[in-house]
């Protein structure tokens, strides 16, 4: 025999289960009678449930501001009357000297500087690097006798 809650189960000889519901039915009937007698036959209102929630919010604000403004005004000097800007200089030109073959490279360099040429390139006929001008002799000059801007390079050919 197995007892589960208010119900009793019995095994019979053929292996089946027989349920004893007599006790369960009797207990259920008793419960219904007990509840109905409490009601007294008149319907009662459900009790009123009141929930009171109190919430307190406290906010403290402290603001402190200090503003200091200092203004310094300085008198600006009065500019003198505008002076007319000089006109842009026109590029200077000079005539590249001709008939310089056989001259010393250092002497030609002095002459070209006196004419205002700022860049002179010395090109060795043998491919060597020209370092000391006094050791080189002029074999030719490009654009001999032509007027050229003094800002452009003058190419002089030299040999040792």
Q: Please give the mean pLDDT across all residues of the chain.
A: 72
Instruction: Specify the higher pLDDT residue, 69 or 132.
Output: 132
- By mean pLDDT, which of 56-60, 75-79, 132-136 is the weakest? 56-60
Res. 19: pLDDT tops 50:
no
pLDDT band of 22, cuts 50, 70, 90: very low
* Backbone Cα Rg of the chain: 62
8 A C-beta contact, residue 93 and residue 149: yes
Does the predicted TM-score (pTM) go above 0.75? no
What pLDDT digit, counting tens, does each position of 43-61 carry?
Answer: 566 666 665 665 555 555 5
Report the alpha-carbon distance of residue 10 to residue 13 in Å, rounded.
Answer: 10
Q: Do strands 93-95 and 147-149 pair parallel, antiparallel, or not at all (unpaired)?
A: antiparallel
Portion of the chain with pLDDT greater than 70, in percent? 43
- Residue 139: count other Cβ atoms within 10 Å of its Cβ: 17
Distances (CA, A) of 54 to 48, 51, 58, 60, 69: 19, 10, 13, 20, 48
Portion of the chain with pLDDT greater than 90, in percent? 42
What pLDDT digit, counting tens, does each position of 78-106 carry?
Answer: 566 555 666 666 669 999 999 999 999 99
């Amino acid at each position: 025999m197995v007892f589960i809650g208010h119900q009793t189960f019995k095994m019979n000889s053929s292996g089946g289960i027989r349920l004893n519901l007599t006790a369960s039915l009797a207990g259920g009937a008793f419960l219904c009678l007990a509840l109905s007698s409490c009601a007294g036959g008149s319907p009662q209102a459900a009790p009123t449930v009141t929930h009171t929630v109190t919430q307190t919010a406290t906010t403290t604000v402290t603001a402190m501001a200090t503003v200091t403004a200092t203004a310094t005004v300085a008198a600006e000097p009065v500019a003198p009357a505008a002076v007319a800007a000089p006109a842009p200089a026109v590029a200077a030109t000079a005539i590249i000297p001709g008939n310089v073959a056989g001259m010393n490279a250092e002497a030609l360099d002095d002459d070209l500087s006196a004419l205002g040429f700022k860049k002179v390139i010395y090109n060795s006929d043998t491919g060597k690097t020209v370092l000391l001008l006094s050791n080189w002799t002029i074999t030719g000059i490009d654009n001999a006798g032509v007027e050229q801007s003094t800002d452009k390079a003058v190419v002089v050919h030299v040999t040792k």
